[in-house]
Every structure is written in structure tokens, then in C-alpha cells.
Amino acid sequence: MNTAKNECDCIFCKEELPIELPKTLITEIFNNNVVIFAGAGISTENKNVLNYSFYEDIASKCDSEEKNLSFPELMEIYTQKPNGRIKLLSDFKDRIQYIRSFPELYRIATRFHCELATLPHIDTIITTNSEHLTSKILS
């Protein structure tokens, strides 16, 4: 049990790490000079949401014997299958809809985004997350 900061070792509390921001970064935040870049690992690809990633899901559907492909390489192989591009978008949409269908999974997937929304001096966030956009396009 982690007794240094609290008495809980749950998946959420164990990720709450003490951080100390450099004073120069704090100054830049207050001057609205900071942009957040948040990748996919903070939402649906977080292993606390589902125990398998989108990459792993697609890799299991590919016939490729090559291992250690980059994400773009794997997606390219998958889209070369008959109707592969449509299947890829459908698989992605299904993953997002599955997460949204369970309020607890959705809460976990959006937890970091909700925290980011509380930062008053950050007005630009760049993300690779496209769940909302993709679900609008495909619905």
C-alpha cells in the first residue's frame, strides 16, 4: 500500500503523482503562452479504460506477420484489405460507441480532459484524439 501520499492504491490514486512545475513554466502559463499537446494515451487508449488498445485490436485483425509496426504502418496494412478503410473507421466508431455506452468507462476516458478544462490560463489544447469528430462524421 502506498502510504506516502494516501492510503489508496486504486488505478486512479496510484497515477496521482506529486509534481513541481518550474517557475518559468508557471509564469508562461499565467501569461497565456502555453499550449497543451495531449495524445491518445490520455483517453480511449489508456489501459484503465479498456485492457487492449485500438492498435492491438487492429493488429489482431491483420494477416501481417511483421511485428513492431508503427501505428501508421499497421493502419495502412489494414486499409489495403477489401473495404479496409470503411472497416477501419467502423472499428474506430465501434470502440468509441462501446466506451460511451458505459458511463464509468466514459468517465475514465474523459477524466484528463475534464481536468484540462479547469485550467483558466490554457486556451489552446492540441490533441490526436478524434473521437468526437469521428463519431459526428460517421453518425
pTM of the model: 0.65
Residues 114-117: contacts with CB under 8 Å, at least 24 apart: 116/36, 116/38
Cα 122 to the center of its chain, rounded Å: 19
Calculate the CA dihedral of residues 39, 44, 46, 51 and round it to 10 degrees. -150
Condensed to tens digits (0 to 9), the pLDDT of residues 95-107 reads 989 999 999 998 8
Query: How does residue 1 score in pLDDT terms, banded at 50, 70 and 90?
Result: very low
Query: How do the domains of the chain map onto residue ranges?
Result: 25-138
Could you give the C-alpha distances from 29 to 18, 66, 74, 120, in angstroms and in order? 19, 44, 37, 9
Condensed to tens digits (0 to 9), the pLDDT of residues 3-61 reads 455 578 776 777 777 888 899 988 998 898 988 887 766 777 777 888 888 989 999 99
Yes or no: say if 73 and 59 are a contact pair by the CB < 8 Å rule.
no
Yes or no: say if 78 and 84 are a contact pair by the CB < 8 Å rule.
yes
Condensed to tens digits (0 to 9), the pLDDT of residues 59-101 reads 999 876 777 899 899 999 999 999 999 999 999 899 989 999 9
- Residue where the block lists cell 491483420: 62
How far apart, in whole angstroms, are the C-alpha atoms of residue 92 and residue 58? 9
* Angle at the Cα of 130 from the Cα atoms of 125 and 136, rounded to 5 degrees: 120
Rg (CA), the chain: 18
Yes or no: say if 131 and 44 are a contact pair by the CB < 8 Å rule.
yes
